[in-house]
Each structure stands twice: as C-alpha cells, then as structure tokens.
Structure 1
Amino acid sequence: MAEREALLACVDARGILAVRVTPNARSARIAVEPDNAGVNSVRIWVTVPPEDGKANKAVIALLAKALALPKSTLSIERGDTSRLKQIRISR
C-alpha cells in the first residue's frame, strides 16, 4: 500500500507519471527514489527484452498491479522506444 501511495504522489496534475525503465533485469520491481535535486523519481526494472513492445507491456502490467488499477487505464504517452517514459494514468 505504501508503494501505491508513493507512486501516486509522483503523478503530476495532468495524470502523467515519468519513469525510467531498465529491461533485461534479473527481477521485476519498482522503486521510488529521490534524485539529486531531492525530487522523487520512479524506476522500473522488467525481466523481458526491449523488442516488439514486450518491455512496454511488462511495464504497464507491473505498474497496473502496483497501483491496483486495470491495465486499460495506463498508456504510454511518450517514450515508446526510450528508457525514459511518460505514462498516462486515466481513472
């Protein structure tokens, strides 16, 4: 539950969550960490490779589970082929 609250605190007023994704990780996980400026940032590790959108699907599934939301409420707004992504959360 604390992870869900920390993630929701990182969502901006437009419903966008900025994340940094690392594919091909040993385990799938999410971390909310302060960056150098003291602002919380979200990092996501997924175990699948970044080919044919597999990593993007894994990111959406992992975030949906952590936020206790349906996958259909999450979509990648920017960064389909980048490690830095903006994910729209519509409720």
Structure 2
Amino acid sequence: MMKYYQLTKTENVLNMIIKWFDQQFEQPPVEKNVNTMVQMLTLTYLYEETKNPTYLPYLETWGDWLYHDMPCTKDGGFQHIVFGSQNNQQL
C-alpha cells in the first residue's frame, strides 16, 4: 500500500495506512519477531512522508531490538523466530 501511495500520491491510500497504524497503536504491542518487522518498514516510509513524531518511539524501540536483541543464527543472520516458534538456526 505504501509503495502504491508513493507512486500515485492518492490521498485516500495514505489515509488508510495512517488509520491502520492508529488502530494498531491502540492495541497492546505485538510480539517482536522477523515477520512483524515488515510493518516497521512501512512505518518508516510513513514517517518520512508525514514527519509524525508519534511514530518515532515505535521505530526506535523496534530498531533497537533488531540491532541488539533479535536472535541471530550462528553465522550472524536474523533467525526466523515467529509467534510460538524459535526455528533454531533458520534464516
């Protein structure tokens, strides 16, 4: 959706993305894992577009987790941890 917005500048699409994140921030935080990082990339692009400072704490917290706490494989790759499963040594 973000890529589509970047290509078309369709305001309704941007508003849908903003609304989705607003709804997510009303919920308890989700478990951090490799699959939930995808939304953080979108949030980064959204921050670049809107400069909304409320996004920064989420981006900083998740970025810090990614660089310092996310489990890695023995070769240093991001381990494929998901809800309820560590998938030991799996990229």
Shorter-chain TM range is under 0.3
Structure having the higher helix fraction is 2
Greater relative contact order (CA < 8 Å, ≥ 6 in sequence): 1
Bigger CA radius of gyration: 2
Structure having the higher strand fraction is 1
